[in-house]
Each structure stands twice: as structure tokens, then as C-alpha cells.
Structure 1
């Protein structure tokens, strides 16, 4: 699959998830085919067999959690909440940080499994846009008027 084609598929998957009301087997397999890189590389391992078994028994939330664990090993679920008829799901790389410092990826849907899948697809789309180096990067401050100040007293 070319990089240009792969770049356009996560947003279309995202739109498809937001417009659907329920998950089915073909949607899950389509997401695995177009958004997952590790599953084809692992072949028929125990982890991929587990995901396929969960799909077969229509355990959509569990299958999505297994996908997140396999495909996004550095990401963790930060929050799952139900509010006013919608499930809100947030995935984060720095779960131990306070909410106001974390840059979590959030998604929402009336169905829990679709909210989880939407957050998964958003992270995959974000990963395509941002190329990570092997050296950690300090994020720029979101406040344009923010300026770091040294508070050391060496005197």
C-alpha cells in the first residue's frame, strides 16, 4: 500500500465510524486491513488469533481494546466516561500526567465500542501525520505569551 493511499484512509475510516450506529464483522476487518500495521506482520500468532476470536463472538469492545494493546503499545486508555447519551474515550501516551498537561486523543459516540474504535483511528491518523524521532521532543507551549523564566538564585 502506498503512503499516499494510506494517508487518506484513516480520515475516511473516521467518517465511516461516526456515521455508523453499530459495529459488524466487515467493519472490524476493514479497519484491521486498512489501519493496522502489526497484525499482518505477526501472522497467525496468539494475539491475532485472540482478536479474531473476539470478533467472531462479537465482543466489539474487547476486540478494540486488544487492537489498541497490539497496535498502539505506547498508548493507554486515559478515560472512558458516559455522559448525556454518549461514550467519551481518551487515549494518552502520558497517562500519569494531570489532565491539564496531557495531550490526549479523544473520541465520542453513542456506542462504547465505536467510541473506542474512533479514538484508535484518530491516534493512527495522528501517527501518520507526526513522524517521531528516536529522541524525545519537547512540545512547544500552547500559550503564545508563555516564556520560560529561570528562577535559580546562584548568589
Structure 2
């Protein structure tokens, strides 16, 4: 099945990540299957092989960062912080802007890799929202009784 035909459901993925206590291989593969559009189109390149090697080694945080590098080339990690038992992760398109000007996407979780992937899923949801056109792209079929009329008055 092509990436364009797969159903992407970010709320359910976000809920799954929030409910998870630790990263697992099946959860990581589900995220790649449901939320990643570029990995299937890249085929077996060196960059995708690196992600696979990191998953095989169970280096979840490194795999999450490599996945973000592949899937979100315009986004960067703005902040990773540990506070009161939770990891806070912020992704941004404009990392050099001050915090109060930046529209960063933030997520948190007790597990670092799950915090990173939660932010990744949130960015994917934001990107999907932004890519929708505000005007329908399919024109409605013209009414058979419709006939244009010129109503200019030149006299």
C-alpha cells in the first residue's frame, strides 16, 4: 500500500504514545507504518538503514531523532529538558527565534524516546493541517440550467 493511501490517524497514535510506559519495537514500527511518508519512498538508502540499525539495537531516542531528521527536514529540536520526572521536547522550524516568538510544538513523557516521538506525531498533525487547501480543489459540476449573462451597461 502506498504512503498516500495509508490512513493517518494522529490522535490515536498520540494516545498510544501517552499510554505507553516504554518504547517497544512493535510500537516504533507502527509509528513508522502510520506516520512516516518519506521512509517507504526512500527505499533501502543509507539513511533508512541507519534507522533500522538503531531500532534493532533498541536505541530508541537515537532512532526517534534519526526518524525526525528523515521525515521532518525543516524542523529541528529546539529543546529537550528533564523536569520533575518528565522529559519535555520542543520541535521548531525557527530555532533561532526567541521562545516567545517561536511557534514550537511541545510534548512530554516520562520516557525520552516517547517524548520525542510524541512531538514528532504532533508536528505531523500540524503539517497535515497546514497542507490542506482552504478552498476546495475540485470544481462542482456546472448546473445544466446555468447560462452566463452579460450585464454591462455601456450606454
Give the TM-score of the pair, scaled to structure 2: 0.81
Cα distance in 1 for partners of 2:48, 2:55 equals 11
3-state SS of paired residue (1:79):
strand
When Rg is computed on C-alpha atoms for both structures, the one with the higher figure is 2
Maintained 8 Å contact 2:7/2:34: no
Which whole-Å CA distance do the structure 1 matches of 2:112 and 2:121 have between them?
14
CA RMSD of aligned residues (A): 1.6
- Equivalence for 1:71: 71
**What is the distance in 1 between the residues matched to 2:93 and 2:61?**
20
SS in 2 for 1:130: helix
- 8 Å CA contact 2:87, 2:111 repeated in 1: yes
**What is the CA distance between 1:132 and its match in structure 2?**
7.5
Q: Structure 2: 5+ residue runs without aligned partners?
A: 134-155
Partner of 1:32: 32
Counterpart of 2:7?
5
Secondary structure of the structure 1 residue equivalent to 2:131: coil
Q: In structure 1, what is the Cα distance between the partners aligned to 2:68 and 2:97?
A: 20
* Preserved CA contact (<8 Å) 2:92 2:103: yes
Report the alpha carbon displacement of residue 49 of structure 1 after superposing the two structures with TM: 0.5
Contact 2:21–2:111 under 8 Å retained in 1: yes
Q: 1:103 to 1:42 in 2, by over 3 A?
A: same
Unaligned 5+ segments in structure 1 are: 134-155
* 2:76–2:93 Cα contact (<8 Å) kept: yes
The secondary structure found in structure 2 opposite 1:80 is strand
Does the CA-based 8 Å contact 2:6-2:34 persist in structure 1?
no
Give me the whole-angstrom Cα distance separating, in 2, the residues matched to 1:95 and 1:132: 25
TM-score when normalising by structure 1? 0.81
Residues 64 and 57 of structure 1: CA distance in aligned 2, closer, same or farther (over 3 Å): same
